[in-house]
């Protein structure tokens, strides 16, 4: 398949104004794995302004030079191609470290003096992007310290803006999310708060809206009249790795469904926005979340399956069961898998089931959205006595082997009429070459530009919690009911198959073999 010619609809992007990125939790895993490599790649691509700087803030005592050395080691480990010798000194000269305690006002006053001195030495405004890459327990205290020392309103003392980027998890339920929103909005206005969900930074997730609204082909069919049901699968092969203590308190519903799966669902289900500005797009997404049919206690048992992985094999290697993972309670009843059925109660989707599932230690790593169209009437080619033909399916492969497949029926050449489903396939790597950019690069750049389209707004986060919180309470009350287990390396518990099969449907993924690299001719 050949990528189109130059008739691209280009949305022009300016480069950010000079700014300083302050990373709280700078010595942590997220900073090393994701944030610093993303900043470095943006720098190498010339997408950052000349006068940008990074200030790492954490409790560990460290000099600027020691921090630079830590960053260099992180880049060596987590940046493909490593830190290039040629541009490392320029990058390193923009890295600084500030030791402080998250609840110590004096440390924040010193941070303020340092940021002002840095800005003055670069003849730049005091623009600051504060990034909370810390455990969630300190989100609110840090925001409060930033406010108390005057850093959330730099315009009052020197020209400039201040923005806050917050990692997930954003609360544990509706009440805690509301409380956290109230705390941070005490320090920053809503349009200065960037709640990050790295799924929104993925190219293929952004392409959902382009596919739906930049093509005449799909939108007329995208409704209850033609769509039988929708499946969203987010399957991982990894277990909880080193995050046992966090994960055991969270589980799949909080860790994956409340954020990543809800975003995928709302992008698939939303109405066309009349503009691509951040508030218009996000308002349409919120409407979907608010239209989700509530799942009362009585429905949870038939519409939702939670399960936990037992020991098994992944990629030919034996792996332990969840309860034997480090940091996990040996009698834990936290779910590592969840599958459920929901409905969007509006005119477009009335009666169309949306089946969602996610789990760790499954048979393959695949994130995919399947739009399953209605079967054709049982006449003509579909009148065969040996069963109905496979329906049309549009599969959006979010990762890996990013792309789109469309399944339709064709006549196999030869005498007689033999009809078979065929898949037409579009692959990003084959069409455009290379790997898609890291989600964090796009999101960091957007936050520096002040574009919040790909970040979660407060009402969005609360609408997702409003749907999930009663489910979580029901699950918590049922905690002594047996939690099914599934073998690590399988496709999940048989109860999840039974749930969808009761409706006469099956879980399907259209995962494709790895695509050939490079552009096709
Ligand atoms: C994170 C979850 O938000 O997303 C992890 O906390 C999960 O548990 C990860 O593994 C999945 O992200 P990706 O980009 O690998 O699909």
Task: Ligand 1, residue 199: give the atom nearest the CA.
Answer: 14
Q: Give residue ranges with CB within 6 A of ligand 1.
A: 198, 236, 238, 255, 367
Rounded mean pLDDT, 218-234: 97
How far apart are the CA of 504 and the centre of ligand 1, in A?
31
Given a cut of 90, is residue 202 above it in pLDDT? yes
Distance from C-alpha of 454 to C-alpha of 278, rounded to nearest angstrom: 8
How far apart are the CA of 389 and the centre of ligand 1, in A?
36
Q: Is 218 exposed, middle or buried (0-12, 13-18, 19+ CB in 10 A)?
A: middle
pLDDT of residue 99: 93
How far apart are the CA of 140 and the centre of ligand 1, in A?
23
Residues 6+ apart with CB under 8 A from 432: 3, 519
Q: How many CB atoms lie within 10 A of CB 511?
A: 18
**Residue whose CA is closest, atom 14 of ligand 1?**
199
pLDDT of residue 182: 97
The pair of three-digit structure tokens given for residue 164, joined into one six-digit string: 């806050």
Q: How confident is the model at residue 181 (pLDDT cuts 50, 70, 90)?
A: very high
Distance from C-alpha of 55 to C-alpha of 151, rounded to nearest angstrom: 14
46 to 40, 51, 85, 119, 298: CA distances (angstroms) = 10, 12, 16, 20, 56
Distance from C-alpha of 363 to C-alpha of 366, rounded to nearest angstrom: 9
How far apart are the CA of 317 and the centre of ligand 1, in A?
21
pLDDT of residue 482: 77
Q: Which of 21-30, 41-50, 119-128, 394-403 has the lowest mean pLDDT?
A: 119-128
pLDDT of residue 123: 83
Rounded mean pLDDT, 62-73: 94
18 to 47, 48, 53, 125: CA distances (angstroms) = 11, 8, 8, 7
Q: Where are the alpha helices (DSSP H) in 98-173?
A: 105-121, 139-148
Rounded mean pLDDT, 11-36: 87
CA 315 to centroid of chain Cα atoms: 25
Q: Which residue has the higher pLDDT, 4 or 508?
A: 508
The partner residues of 490 in beta bridges, in order of sequence, read 362
Given a cut of 60, is residue 10 above it in pLDDT? no
Mutate to test the pocket of ligand 1, among 199, 235, 260, 399 (most ligand atoms within 8 A of CB): 260
Distance from C-alpha of 521 to C-alpha of 517, rounded to nearest angstrom: 12
Q: Are 469 and 272 in contact (CB under 8 A)?
A: no
Compute the half-sphere exposure of residue 75: CA atoms within 13 Å on the CB side of its CA.
24
**Residue whose CA is closest, atom 8 of ligand 1?**
255
Q: How confident is the model at residue 133 (pLDDT cuts 50, 70, 90)?
A: very high
Distance from C-alpha of 502 to C-alpha of 339, rounded to nearest angstrom: 14
* Highest mean pLDDT, choosing among 42-51, 116-125, 149-158, 486-495: 486-495
Distance from C-alpha of 420 to C-alpha of 374, rounded to nearest angstrom: 17
Rounded mean pLDDT, 445-473: 96
Q: Tell me which H or E stretch contains 412.
A: strand 403-412
How far apart are the CA of 266 and the centre of ligand 1, in A?
18
Q: Are 207 and 181 in contact (CB under 8 A)?
A: no
Q: Are 465 and 177 in contact (CB under 8 A)?
A: yes
Counted residue by residue, the chain has a size of: 521
Task: Ligand 1, residue 250: give the atom nearest the CA.
Answer: 6
Give the pLDDT confidence of 263-284 residue by residue, as tens digits. 999 999 999 999 988 999 999 9
Q: How confident is the model at residue 100 (pLDDT cuts 50, 70, 90)?
A: very high
Q: What percent of the chain has pLDDT over 90?
A: 74
Q: How confident is the model at residue 2 (pLDDT cuts 50, 70, 90)?
A: very low
Distance from C-alpha of 358 to C-alpha of 289, rounded to nearest angstrom: 18
Task: Ligand 1, residue 360: give the atom nearest the CA.
Answer: 10
Residues 6+ apart with CB under 8 A from 168: 195, 196, 197, 259
Q: Are 507 and 357 in contact (CB under 8 A)?
A: yes
Q: Which of 98, 260, 263, 372 is catalytic?
A: 260
**Residue whose CA is closest, atom 2 of ligand 1?**
255
**What is the DSSP code (8-state) at residue 362?**
B
Rounded mean pLDDT, 222-245: 96
Q: How confident is the model at residue 518 (pLDDT cuts 50, 70, 90)?
A: very low
Task: Ligand 1, residue 439: give the atom nearest the CA.
Answer: 14
**Residue whose CA is closest, atom 13 of ligand 1?**
199
**Residue whose CA is closest, atom 9 of ligand 1?**
256
Given a cut of 80, is residue 31 above it in pLDDT? yes
Q: Are 247 and 240 in contact (CB under 8 A)?
A: yes
pLDDT of residue 521: 26
Q: How confident is the model at residue 434 (pLDDT cuts 50, 70, 90)?
A: confident
For the chain, give the mean pLDDT.
90
Q: How confident is the model at residue 520 (pLDDT cuts 50, 70, 90)?
A: very low
pLDDT of residue 217: 94
Q: Is 260 a catalytic residue?
A: yes
pLDDT of residue 519: 33
How far apart are the CA of 450 and the centre of ligand 1, in A?
25
Residue in 336, 512, 361, 300 with CA at minimum distance from that of residue 425: 512
Task: Ligand 1, residue 236: give the atom nearest the CA.
Answer: 10
* Highest mean pLDDT, choosing among 119-123, 174-178, 312-316, 437-441: 174-178
φ, ψ for residue 281, nearest 5 deg = -60, -45
Q: Are 363 and 508 in contact (CB under 8 A)?
A: no
Residue in 238, 199, 239 with CA at minimum distance from that of residue 399: 199
381 to 10, 190, 344: CA distances (angstroms) = 44, 56, 33
Residues 6+ apart with CB under 8 A from 398: 199, 202, 204, 205, 264, 367, 368, 369
Task: Give the position of tokens 């382009």.
Answer: 210
Given a cut of 60, is residue 207 above it in pLDDT? yes
Mind giving me the DSSP string for 416-441? S-EEEEEEEEEEHHHHH-SPPPPHHH
Give the pLDDT confidence of 393-433 residue by residue, as tens digits. 999 999 998 999 999 989 889 888 788 889 999 999 999 98
Give the pLDDT confidence of 469-496 residue by residue, as tens digits. 999 999 888 766 779 999 999 999 999 9
The partner residues of 231 in beta bridges, in order of sequence, read 355, 370
């Amino acid at each position: 398949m050949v990528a189109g010619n130059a008739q691209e609809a280009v949305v022009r992007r300016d480069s950010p104004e000079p700014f300083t990125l302050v990373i709280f939790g700078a010595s942590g895993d997220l900073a090393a794995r994701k944030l610093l490599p993303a900043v470095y790649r943006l720098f190498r691509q010339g997408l950052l302004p000349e006068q940008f700087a990074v200030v790492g803030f954490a409790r560990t005592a460290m000099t600027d030079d020691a921090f630079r050395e830590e960053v260099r080691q992180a880049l060596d480990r987590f940046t493909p191609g490593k830190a290039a010798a040629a541009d490392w000194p320029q990058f390193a000269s923009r890295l600084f470290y500030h030791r402080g305690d998250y609840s110590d006002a004096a440390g924040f006053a010193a941070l303020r003096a340092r940021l002002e001195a840095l800005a003055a030495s670069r003849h730049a405004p005091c623009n600051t992007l504060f990034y909370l890459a810390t455990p969630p327990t300190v989100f609110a205290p840090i925001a409060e310290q930033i406010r108390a020392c005057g850093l959330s309103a730099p315009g009052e003392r020197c020209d400039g803006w201040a923005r806050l980027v917050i990692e997930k998890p954003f609360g544990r339920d509706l009440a805690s999310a509301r409380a956290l929103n109230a705390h941070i909005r005490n320090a920053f206005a809503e349009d200065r708060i960037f709640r990050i969900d790295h799924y929104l930074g993925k190219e293929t997730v952004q392409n959902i809206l382009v596919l739906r609204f930049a093509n005449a082909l799909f939108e007329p069919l995208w409704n209850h009249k033609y769509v039988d049901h929708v499946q969203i699968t987010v399957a991982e092969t990894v277990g909880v790795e080193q995050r046992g203590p966090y994960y055991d308190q969270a589980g799949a519903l909080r860790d994956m469904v409340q954020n990543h799966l809800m975003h995928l669902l709302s992008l698939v289900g939303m109405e066309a926005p009349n503009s691509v500005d951040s508030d218009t797009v996000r308002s349409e997404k919120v409407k979907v979340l608010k239209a989700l049919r509530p799942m009362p206690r009585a429905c949870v048992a038939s519409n939702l399956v939670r399960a936990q992985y037992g020991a098994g094999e992944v990629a030919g290697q034996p792996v332990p069961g969840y309860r034997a993972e480090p940091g996990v309670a040996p009698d834990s009843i936290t779910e590592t898998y969840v599958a459920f059925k929901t409905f969007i109660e509006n005119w477009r989707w009335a009666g169309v089931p949306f089946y969602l599932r996610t789990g760790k230690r499954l048979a393959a790593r695949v994130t995919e959205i399947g739009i399953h169209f209605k079967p054709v009437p049982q006449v003509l080619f579909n009148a065969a006595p040996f069963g109905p033909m496979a329906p049309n399916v549009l599969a959006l492969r979010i990762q890996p082997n990013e792309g789109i497949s469309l399944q339709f029926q064709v006549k196999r050449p030869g005498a007689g009429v033999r009809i078979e489903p065929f898949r037409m396939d579009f692959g990003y790597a084959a069409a455009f070459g290379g790997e898609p950019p890291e989600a964090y690069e796009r999101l960091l750049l957007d936050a520096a530009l002040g574009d919040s389209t790909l970040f979660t707004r407060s009402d969005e986060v609360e609408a997702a919690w409003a749907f999930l919180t009663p489910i979580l309470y029901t699950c918590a009350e049922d905690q002594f009911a047996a939690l099914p287990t599934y073998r690590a390396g399988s496709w999940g518990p048989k109860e999840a198959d039974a749930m969808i099969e009761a409706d006469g449907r099956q879980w399907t993924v259209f995962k494709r073999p790895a695509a050939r690299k490079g552009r096709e001719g």
